Amino acid sequence: MKKSGAERKRVRRSPSSLQNGTSDTPPGKQGSKKDVFQLFAEKVRDHKGLESRWAVLQETRVEYFRGKDFVNFLRNHPELKDTLDADKTLEVEEIGNTLLRKSLLVRCDRVVKTLRPGKKKLSTWPAHLEIYPEQVFSDNDAFFAWTFVKRHPLWQTLLSFFWPVLTLAICLFPIYPHQVKLIILYVCAGLLLLILSLLLVRATIFGAMWILLGKRVWFFPNILAEEATLGELFRFWPKKDEEEKPKWTARLFYAIVAVLVILLLRHHAPDEAARARYQKRVYNIIDDVLEWSPRLALSGMMDKQPTVVNAMEPAENSTVREDESPASQESGIEQPEFVDTIEDVDDTENRRHHDGL
């Protein structure tokens, strides 16, 4: 009985596959297949359950996490190990070491290893990191930074396109209609007032709590942070105060200074007339900005240009007396101008003709 073509091909291919330890997948498809640990690292990084921060590592901003958080995260989300296929049974430490070997992670250490004055313990999330000599996974005060470039979501791509458009729109503000200018002015003024009010109330609450109770309470603690995500930036509740309680002498001193500053500002506050003058000046500046337009600017520039008269061309509709002496010109005496029109000359000739008759 003869074998079919498919069976003969299967018989020829199976010994070589077993000896070389390769599958029947073509080499091109194997190369294009993504590493399972790369997919696992991307899923872990995109997951919101793993807490991470941003720091500076060798003059480069990196996203990093703590080793103990990584262990707890994989224990709470074991379904992510299914991405590893055959390696899903590995322990957390083995997975971490594999990510380190594949250069998907790099172990880091804090740069500042000494306590600052007034601190009880080191910072939980340091802002500056350095590469740790031994690249081995650990959950004991160890930090690990991602080394691959994170995929940008769609909203970030749209935002990167929107920024140049916004810049161009700001540059074209002078040619907007008057109503649009008013809307932009009120929106920007409202946002600026909101930010300044928030900072003022925040500082007032901190000063009152620090003087009265000796506690450091900063609402919106990350509102002025340079390296913070969007979620951390608008976090409302303050952090736990880990510093020592201030001395009562320092609190009393700053309380006296605050009272003196308030009394000084109240004494030198502007009166009603000065306030009205300043308000009028501000209104004039705003009106100049809102009423400006390219047409008015061009008309103003044309009005300021001096009128140029060509000396080679004879003056129209005017004649200058020829018997005017140079001496009278140099003396500066204004000479009467004789302007004879064509109608005046015709009237003179008609009178002479009538007298002759």
- Count of the separate structural domains present in the chain: 2
Q: What is the pLDDT of residues 320-349, one digit of tens each?
A: 444 444 444 444 444 444 444 545 555 666
| Distance separating alpha carbons of residues 185 and 345, to the nearest angstrom | 66
Residue 65 lies in a domain: yes
Residue 77 lies in a domain: yes
For the beta carbon of residue 153, count every other beta carbon within 10 angstroms.
10
Across-strand partners of 57?
129
Q: Of 145, 141, 184, 182, give the one whose Cα is nearest residue 166.
A: 184
- What was the pLDDT predicted at 176? 85
Domain extent, residue 229, equals 175-269
- What was the pLDDT predicted at 302? 55
Domain closes at, from 269, 291, 310: 269
- In terms of DSSP bridges, do strands 105-110 and 128-131 run parallel, antiparallel, or are they unpaired? antiparallel
Do 132 and 218 fall within a single domain? no
Do 87 and 41 fall within a single domain? yes
The CATH number linked to 115 is 1.10.10
Residue 113 lies in a domain: yes
* pTM score, whole prediction: 0.47
For the beta carbon of residue 54, count every other beta carbon within 10 angstroms.
18
Classified as helix, coil or strand, 131 is: strand
Residue 91 lies in a domain: yes
Ranges of the chain with pLDDT below 70 = 1-34, 226-232, 240-242, 293-357
Q: Which residues contact 182 (CB under 8 A, 6 or more apart)?
A: 290
| Distance separating alpha carbons of residues 297 and 301, to the nearest angstrom | 6
Q: Of 103, 107, 105, 108, give the one whose Cα is nearest residue 130.
A: 108
Hey, what amino acid is at 247? Answer: K
| Distance separating alpha carbons of residues 290 and 176, to the nearest angstrom | 9
